[in-house]
């Protein structure tokens, strides 16, 4: 048995794929590549794939992290090369590295996510809005019918330079741990901006011990 | 104008976050073929007029996509019906419907090819033309518009769609599509440029193209024909009004099934049949009298076991799929079915590749087949007796005995399945309420067998559809049940088929009638379709979208009585609006079969005994070119050979 960690990008058109579909896409990619994934035991066999954090439909990302298990030991170089020939458009592999079989699960060590938000419609006084948000005691949003305060999950917010189309951009660092988390679109909703008029891009995931995926 | 792929793509990026399942509309899937538009001469867009999730499982579309893209001078892209949410957005932004691959608008293509496997797609086809900003009526289109062609099972009666489609492709498309592209290509070179041409010349040049197409075997250009009716409004005849337009259009078939496509597009999202489709055989020799597919796909042609296994291996490599569907109208009839299953088990591990084998006969062999394939038992086992009494089954020519049904059910439950799906039809000719009651009784007998083996875990799912007298079948002379009859029969079933372990599903009568009107209609139906679409009918195949009142209104506006098509017993000598389409099987043969049915006379599988249905004389030379076992019709012996035989005998 071998456990590998893959760092990949999710871009168009695969940004329009939901989390569940992504599992199936990876499974088929591995099969095309001829890389034998290990399967879970039980009634219905599932390939052993573990994605650190679900990326909401529509989001792009520079660094998503996923662990997968193989039944046999293969040189990483071969795995990488085989995968490269089988990837669907929109998935790009940055890196593959070996991981101790006994290493903790990705979810259990995930702390937060850094996002870049691009506003496709102009927001007057974005600077003041951001400042105001930073100073608020609570940021109440609605999630599945319940009101919750996401202020404790907003680790950091700041303005970014305009993008090449002169759109305003924002940097957000949000908690992504299993039961304390916020999504960037929730923050954007809190400033009364329609998230459908924004582009969301995950820059990286931050894990315990401070490792960032881009490092 | 939002007409360039770049502009379309830009607007799409804003629209897609606003719709459900946006991956339906992005293209870019694995194995999609995107060719250089400007360096490719012929641009074809293949269209399935329902949503992506359904259309991507259409094998015909995939076959043509593969074949056209193999040509160096042509490209094929895809388009499907947008769901309501995207349609709203397209209309709001005045964005023309585009093809998934290059995002070119459909109106920029040379040819749009609709696949119309069933009639309830017709209004969607119109809606697609409208969303593509292309005139709906054939006679309103000119040089700058794409050629609109259509094929698929429902076009074996093309008349209801004759106003909208420039040319129909009758039968199997694999060869004739190449001929159509060749004709188009030559015409295009002669005719270019398409711009700045006065309207009259533009139309006549387009007419030239249609004239060339009408000469191709299997191509029907409706504008070259004039229909005539009798005084009582019944159809009289269709008259060719253009020199060279043939009196009858013989369906195209291929002598040998071409290699199946193995580089299938792998959708990002789940589709209805999310698997490798592998056609093991085409056609059916059983001769069920209600079954249009069985009649129009004759003769039976099979693929070899080795070819099938190799294609599956290749497809898995190319797609990564974990399931394969071995497709045919009647899997158990595939000559080497045991060899195939044996070979399948040798080459593949069922842990990583599952297989589905639909349309099995009602016998214990089927249970053995399913067992040796280790088929997922949780999916249940499907049996389709189609009628519940032996009398009725003789009438429809599906002569299994009730004992066979029960013995097979016994074998299924005792071998680990807990669910049996039973398919029946109501409304067969000569059906009585006793025959309907028998559906209840038989289903209950089956569940009792199940309980005997596995107690309360036993489940029977009964699916009931309503018979439609389809064109080109022995039952084309007969009638549909009235709504009242259907309701009485359905309520008998609903009242009695309930309770633990039994589930009943049925087709709503409005779906049945719509399909019946559209499949049996003549040219006068075209305006009804147009009007119904204008009144908002679309997605007619969807029970929650079908708008029957739009259809009723459309009939009224056109002063057409829908019952005229569906509830009128036809005289034996009545001309049908689809008589100019030849399926190879003679009308006389169908009529004889109808008469046999009325006297309860069955016709055995024609694999064992050729009944000279007409296929062999129609496709004599094709059979000669492809002798031997691949066809299930007898070999035709050429004259010289039979003379030799005689000589030897002498
Ligand atoms: S020609 Fe004979 S064997 Fe062939 S389909 Fe017709 S009846 Fe069957």
A90 and A130 part of one domain: no
A94 and A120 part of one domain: no
> How large is the greatest C-alpha to C-alpha distance in chain B, in angstroms?
83
Give me the long-range contacts of A193-199 (CB less than 8 A, separation at least 24): A193/A119, A193/A121, A193/A123, A194/A121, A196/B17, A196/B18, A197/A119, A197/A120, A197/A121, A197/B14, A198/A117, A198/A118, A198/A119, A198/A120, A199/A60, A199/A117, A199/A118, A199/A120
pLDDT at B132: 98
pLDDT at B461: 97
pLDDT band of B137, cuts 50, 70, 90: very high
Extended beta strands in B287-339, E state: 301-302, 323-327
CA distance A144 to chain B (A): 18
CB neighbour class for B406 (10 Å; exposed up to 12, middle 13-18, buried from 19): middle
pLDDT band of A213, cuts 50, 70, 90: low
Query: For a substitution probing ligand 1, which of B302, B397, B610, B631 has the most ligand atoms within 8 Å of its CB?
Result: B610
The answer to whether the Cβ–Cβ distance between B26 and A12 falls below 8 Å is: yes
Among B17, B27, B318, select the one facing A196 at the smallest CB separation: B17
The radius of gyration of chain B from alpha carbons, rounded to an integer in Å, stands at: 25
A95 and A170 part of one domain: no
Identify the CATH number of the domain in which residue A192 sits.
Answer: 3.30.70
Measured from the Cα of B632, ligand 1's closest atom is: 3
pLDDT band of B483, cuts 50, 70, 90: very high
SS (H, E, C) B553-618: HHHHHCCCCCHHHHCCCCCCCCCCCCCCEECCCCHHHHHHHHHHHHCCCCCCCCCCCCCCCCHHHH
Q: Looking at beta carbons, which residues of chain B come within 8 Å of A86?
A: 320
Q: Which residues contact B363 (CB under 8 A, 6 or more apart)?
A: B332, B400, B404, B408
pLDDT at A44: 67
Q: What is the pLDDT of residues A95-139, one digit of tens each?
A: 999 999 999 999 999 999 999 999 999 999 999 999 999 999 999
CA distance A199 to chain B (A): 9
Question: Tokens at residue B260, please?
Answer: 């199946």
Taking the C-alpha atoms of residue A117 and residue A202, their distance in angstroms, rounded to an integer, is 9
Final residue before a domain boundary, out of A103, A125, A155: A103
Residue A128, domain member (yes or no): yes
Say if B318 is an interface residue toward chain A (CB within 8 Å): yes
Among B13, B268, B318, select the one facing A21 at the smallest CB separation: B268
The answer to whether the Cβ–Cβ distance between B28 and A32 falls below 8 Å is: no
Q: Of all protein residues, whose CA lies closest to atom 6 belonging to ligand 1?
A: B613
Peptide bond into A13 cis (omega under 30): yes
Chain B, window 119-148: residues with a beta carbon less than 8 angstroms from a chain A beta carbon: none
Among A12, A24, A28, select the one facing B319 at the smallest CB separation: A28
Residue B630 alpha carbon to ligand 1 centre in Å: 13
Q: Of all protein residues, whose CA lies closest to atom 5 belonging to ligand 1?
A: B299
Residue A158, domain member (yes or no): yes
Question: Tokens at residue B473, please?
Answer: 């079948």
Question: B45, B76 in Cβ contact below 8 A?
Answer: yes
Identify the CATH number of the domain in which residue A14 sits.
Answer: 3.30.70.580
Coil, strand or helix at B248:
coil
β partners of residue B226: B239
Residue A127, domain member (yes or no): yes
**Residue B611 beta carbon below 6 angstroms from any ligand 1 atom:** yes
**Residue B633 beta carbon below 6 angstroms from any ligand 1 atom:** yes
Q: What letter does residue B273 receive in the DSSP assignment?
A: T
A140 and A201 part of one domain: yes
* Domain of A125, in residue numbers: 111-207
Lowest mean pLDDT among A177-191, B49-63, B307-321: A177-191
Q: Looking at beta carbons, which residues of chain A come within 8 Å of B23?
A: 13, 16-17, 21
CA distance A208 to chain B (A): 33
Question: B324, B59 in Cβ contact below 8 A?
Answer: no
Residue B110 has pLDDT above 70, yes or no: yes
Question: Tokens at residue A58, please?
Answer: 């529509």
Say if B269 is an interface residue toward chain A (CB within 8 Å): yes
Number of H helices, E strands in chain B: 23, 19
Q: What is the pLDDT of residues B527-536, one digit of tens each?
A: 999 999 999 9
CB-CB neighbours of B243 under 10 Å: 8
Coil, strand or helix at B191:
helix
A68 and A126 part of one domain: no
CA distance A21 to chain B (A): 6
**Residue B285 beta carbon below 6 angstroms from any ligand 1 atom:** yes
Would the CA dihedral through A14, A18, A19, A20 be positive or negative?
A: negative
Measured from the Cα of B606, ligand 1's closest atom is: 8
**Residue B636 beta carbon below 6 angstroms from any ligand 1 atom:** no
The answer to whether the Cβ–Cβ distance between B320 and A32 falls below 8 Å is: yes
pLDDT band of B646, cuts 50, 70, 90: very low
Residue A28, domain member (yes or no): yes
Residue B33 alpha carbon to ligand 1 centre in Å: 39
Q: Looking at beta carbons, which residues of chain B come within 8 Å of A12?
A: 13, 26, 28
Question: B472, B578 in Cβ contact below 8 A?
Answer: yes
Query: Which residue ranges form the domains of chain B, and what is each CATH number?
Result: 5-250 (no CATH), 275-372+604-650 (3.30.750.210), 380-520 (3.30.750.200)
Coil, strand or helix at B327:
strand
Query: For a substitution probing ligand 1, which of B608, B615, B632 has the most ligand atoms within 8 Å of its CB?
Result: B615
Coil, strand or helix at B394:
helix
pLDDT at B370: 86
Taking the C-alpha atoms of residue B391 and residue B232, their distance in angstroms, rounded to an integer, is 36
Unique residue bearing structure tokens 């088990």: B345
Would the CA dihedral through B227, B231, B235, B238 be positive or negative?
A: negative
Count of domains in chain A?
Answer: 2
Residue B378 has pLDDT above 70, yes or no: no
Taking the C-alpha atoms of residue B45 and residue B48, their distance in angstroms, rounded to an integer, is 10
Residue B633 has pLDDT above 80, yes or no: yes
Give the chain B residue nearest A30 (alpha carbons). Answer: B320
Final residue before a domain boundary, out of A103, A136, A163: A103
pLDDT band of B638, cuts 50, 70, 90: low
- Mean local confidence (pLDDT), B336-358: 89
**Residue B582 beta carbon below 6 angstroms from any ligand 1 atom:** no
Final residue before a domain boundary, out of A73, A103, A133: A103
Residue B284 alpha carbon to ligand 1 centre in Å: 10
Q: Of all protein residues, whose CA lies closest to atom 2 belonging to ligand 1?
A: B610
SS (H, E, C) chain A: CEEEEEEEEECCCHHHCCHHHHHHHHHHHHHHHCCCECECCCCCCCECEEECCCCCCCCEEEEEEEEEEECCCCCHHHHHHHHHHHCCCCEEEEEEEEECCCCCCHHHHEEEEEEEEEECCCCCCHHHHHHHHHHCCCCEEEECCEEEECHHHEEEEEEECCCCCCCCEEEEEEEECCCCECCHHHHHHHCCCCHHHEEEEEEEEEEHHHCECCC
Residue B337 has pLDDT above 50, yes or no: yes
pLDDT at B202: 86
The answer to whether the Cβ–Cβ distance between A25 and B22 falls below 8 Å is: no
Measured from the Cα of B298, ligand 1's closest atom is: 5
**Residue B606 beta carbon below 6 angstroms from any ligand 1 atom:** yes
Say if B316 is an interface residue toward chain A (CB within 8 Å): yes
ipTM of the complex model: 0.93
The answer to whether the Cβ–Cβ distance between B27 and A13 falls below 8 Å is: yes
pLDDT at B416: 87
Percentage of chain A exceeding pLDDT 90: 87
pLDDT at B1: 58
Question: Tokens at residue B486, please?
Answer: 């259907």
Q: What is the pLDDT of residues B175-216, one digit of tens each?
A: 999 999 999 999 999 988 888 888 888 888 999 999 999 999
Q: Which residues contact B621 (CB under 8 A, 6 or more apart)?
A: none
CA distance A209 to chain B (A): 35
Residue A215, domain member (yes or no): no
The answer to whether the Cβ–Cβ distance between A32 and B317 falls below 8 Å is: yes
User: In whole numbers, what is the pLDDT of chain B averaged over residues?
Assistant: 94
Q: What is the pLDDT of residues A4-46, one digit of tens each?
A: 999 999 999 999 999 999 999 999 999 999 999 998 876 667 8
Question: Tokens at residue B524, please?
Answer: 């006068």
A197 and A133 part of one domain: yes
Q: What is the pLDDT of residues A139-164, one digit of tens each?
A: 999 898 999 999 999 999 999 999 99
Give the chain B residue nearest A20 (alpha carbons). Answer: B269
Question: Tokens at residue A88, please?
Answer: 């669907």
A98 and A122 part of one domain: no
**Residue B283 beta carbon below 6 angstroms from any ligand 1 atom:** no
Phi first, then psi: what are they for A6, rounded to 5°?
Answer: -115, 135
Question: A11, A90 in Cβ contact below 8 A?
Answer: yes
pLDDT: which is higher, B430 or A44: B430
Picking from B44, B49, B75, the residue whose alpha carbon sits closest to that of residue B130 is B49
- To the nearest 10°, report the CA torsion of A94, A99, A101, A104: -90
Lowest mean pLDDT among A28-37, A102-111, B362-371, B484-493: B362-371
Question: Tokens at residue B158, please?
Answer: 């093309």
Residue A196, domain member (yes or no): yes
Chain B, window 549-588: residues with a beta carbon less than 8 angstroms from a chain A beta carbon: none
pLDDT band of B375, cuts 50, 70, 90: low
A71 and A154 part of one domain: no
A145 and A198 part of one domain: yes
Q: What share of chain B is helix, strand, coil (3-state, %, to 5)?
A: 45, 15, 45
Q: Looking at beta carbons, which residues of chain B come within 8 Å of A57?
A: 22
pLDDT at B648: 42
Residue B347 alpha carbon to ligand 1 centre in Å: 34
CA distance A135 to chain B (A): 31
CA distance B315 to chain A (A): 10
Coil, strand or helix at B236:
strand
Residue A192, domain member (yes or no): yes
Residue A214 has pLDDT above 60, yes or no: no
CB contacts < 8 A, A to B, total 65
**Residue B590 beta carbon below 6 angstroms from any ligand 1 atom:** no
Residue A212, domain member (yes or no): no
The answer to whether the Cβ–Cβ distance between B320 and A28 falls below 8 Å is: yes
Among A16, A29, A31, select the one facing B16 at the smallest CB separation: A16
β partners of residue B355: B324
A92 and A141 part of one domain: no
Q: What is the pLDDT of residues B15-55, one digit of tens each?
A: 999 999 999 999 999 999 999 999 999 999 999 999 999 99
pLDDT at B649: 40
CB-CB neighbours of B11 under 10 Å: 16
A90 and A119 part of one domain: no
A162 and A199 part of one domain: yes
CB neighbour class for A89 (10 Å; exposed up to 12, middle 13-18, buried from 19): middle
Residue B156 has pLDDT above 70, yes or no: yes
């Amino acid at each position: 048995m071998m456990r590998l960690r893959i760092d990949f990008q999710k871009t168009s058109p695969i940004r329009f794929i939901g989390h569940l579909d992504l599992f199936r896409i990876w499974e088929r990619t591995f099969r095309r590549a001829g890389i034998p994934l290990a399967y879970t035991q039980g009634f219905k066999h599932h390939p052993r794939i573990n994605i650190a954090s679900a990326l909401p439909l529509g989001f792009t990302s520079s660094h998503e992290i996923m662990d997968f298990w193989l039944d046999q030991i293969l040189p990483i170089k071969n795995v990488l090369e085989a995968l490269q020939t089988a990837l669907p458009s929109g998935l790009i592999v940055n890196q593959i590295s070996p991981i101790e079989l006994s290493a903790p699960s990705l979810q259990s060590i995930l702390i937060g996510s850094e996002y870049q938000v691009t506003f496709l419609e102009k927001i007057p006084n974005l600077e003041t809005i951001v400042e105001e948000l930073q100073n608020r005691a609570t940021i109440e949003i609605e999630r599945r019918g319940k009101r919750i305060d996401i202020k404790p999950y907003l680790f950091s917010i700041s303005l970014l330079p305009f993008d090449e189309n002169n759109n305003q951009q924002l940097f957000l660092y949000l908690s992504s741990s299993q039961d304390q988390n916020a999504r960037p679109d929730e923050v954007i909703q809190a400033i009364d901006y329609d998230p459908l008029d924004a582009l969301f891009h995950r820059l990286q995931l931050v894990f315990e011990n401070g490792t960032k995926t881009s490092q | 104008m939002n007409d360039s792929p770049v502009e379309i793509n830009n607007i799409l990026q804003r629209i897609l976050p606003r719709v459900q399942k946006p991956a339906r509309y992005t293209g870019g899937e694995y194995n999609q073929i995107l060719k250089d538009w400007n360096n490719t001469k012929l641009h074809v867009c293949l269209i399935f007029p329902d949503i992506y999730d359904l259309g991507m499982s259409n094998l015909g579309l995939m076959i043509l996509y593969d074949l056209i893209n193999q040509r160096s001078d042509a490209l094929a892209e895809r388009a499907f019906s947008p769901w309501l949410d995207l349609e709203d957005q397209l209309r709001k932004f005045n964005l023309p419907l585009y093809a998934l691959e290059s995002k070119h608008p459909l109106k920029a293509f040379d040819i749009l090819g609709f696949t119309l496997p069933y009639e309830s797609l017709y209004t969607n086809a119109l809606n697609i033309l409208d969303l593509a900003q292309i005139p709906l009526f054939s006679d309103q289109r000119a040089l700058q518009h794409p050629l609109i062609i259509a094929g698929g099972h429902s076009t074996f009666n093309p008349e209801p769609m004759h106003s909208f489609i420039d040319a129909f492709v009758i039968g199997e498309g694999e060869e004739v599509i190449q001929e159509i592209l060749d004709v188009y290509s030559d015409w295009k070179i002669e005719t270019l440029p398409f711009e700045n041409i006065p309207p009259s010349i533009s139309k006549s040049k387009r007419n030239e193209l249609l004239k060339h197409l009408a000469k191709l075997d299997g191509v029907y250009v409706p504008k070259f024909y004039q229909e005539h009716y009798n005084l009582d409004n019944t159809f009289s005849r269709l008259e060719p009004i253009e020199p060279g337009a043939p009196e009858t259009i013989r369906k195209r078939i291929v002598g040998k099934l071409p290699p199946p496509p193995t580089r299938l597009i792998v959708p990002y999202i789940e589709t209805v049949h999310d698997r490798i489709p592998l056609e093991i055989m085409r056609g059916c020799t059983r001769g069920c009298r209600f079954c249009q597919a069985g009649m129009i796909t004759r003769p039976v042609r099979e693929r070899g076991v080795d070819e099938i296994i190799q294609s599956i291996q290749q497809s898995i490599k190319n797609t990564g799929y974990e399931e394969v569907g071995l497709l045919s109208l009647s899997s158990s009839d595939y000559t080497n079915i045991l060899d195939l299953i044996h070979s399948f088990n040798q080459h593949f591990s069922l842990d990583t590749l599952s297989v589905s084998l639909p349309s099995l006969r009602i016998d214990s062999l089927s249970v053995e087949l399913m067992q040796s394939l280790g088929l997922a038992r949780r999916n249940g086992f499907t049996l389709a007796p189609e009628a519940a009494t032996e009398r009725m089954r003789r009438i429809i020519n599906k002569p299994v005995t009730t004992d066979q049904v029960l013995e097979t059910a016994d074998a299924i439950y005792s071998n680990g399945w807990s669910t049996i799906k039973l398919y029946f039809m109501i409304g067969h000719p000569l059906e009585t309420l006793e025959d309907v009651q028998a559906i209840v009784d038989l289903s209950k007998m089956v569940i009792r067998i199940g309980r005997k083996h596995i107690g309360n875990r036993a489940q029977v799912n009964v699916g009931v559809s309503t018979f439609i007298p389809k064109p080109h079948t022995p039952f084309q002379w007969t009638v549909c049940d009235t709504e009242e009859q259907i309701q009485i029969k359905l309520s008998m079933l609903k009242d009695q088929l309930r309770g633990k372990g039994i589930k009943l599903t049925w087709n709503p009568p409005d779906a049945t009638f719509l399909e019946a009107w559209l499949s049996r209609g003549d040219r006068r139906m075209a305006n009804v379709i147009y009007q119904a679409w204008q009144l908002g009918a679309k997605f007619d195949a969807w029970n929650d979208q079908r708008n029957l009142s739009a259809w009723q209104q459309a009939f009224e506006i056109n002063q057409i009585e829908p019952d005229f098509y569906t509830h009128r017993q036809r005289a034996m000598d009545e001309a049908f609006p689809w008589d100019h389409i030849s399926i190879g099987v003679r009308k006389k043969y169908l009529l004889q079969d109808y008469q046999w049915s009325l006297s309860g006379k069955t016709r055995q599988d024609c694999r064992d005994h050729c009944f000279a249905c007409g296929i062999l004389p129609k496709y004599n030379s094709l059979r000669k070119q492809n002798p031997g076992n691949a066809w299930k019709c007898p070999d035709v012996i050429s004259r010289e050979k039979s003379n030799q035989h005689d000589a030897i005998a002498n």
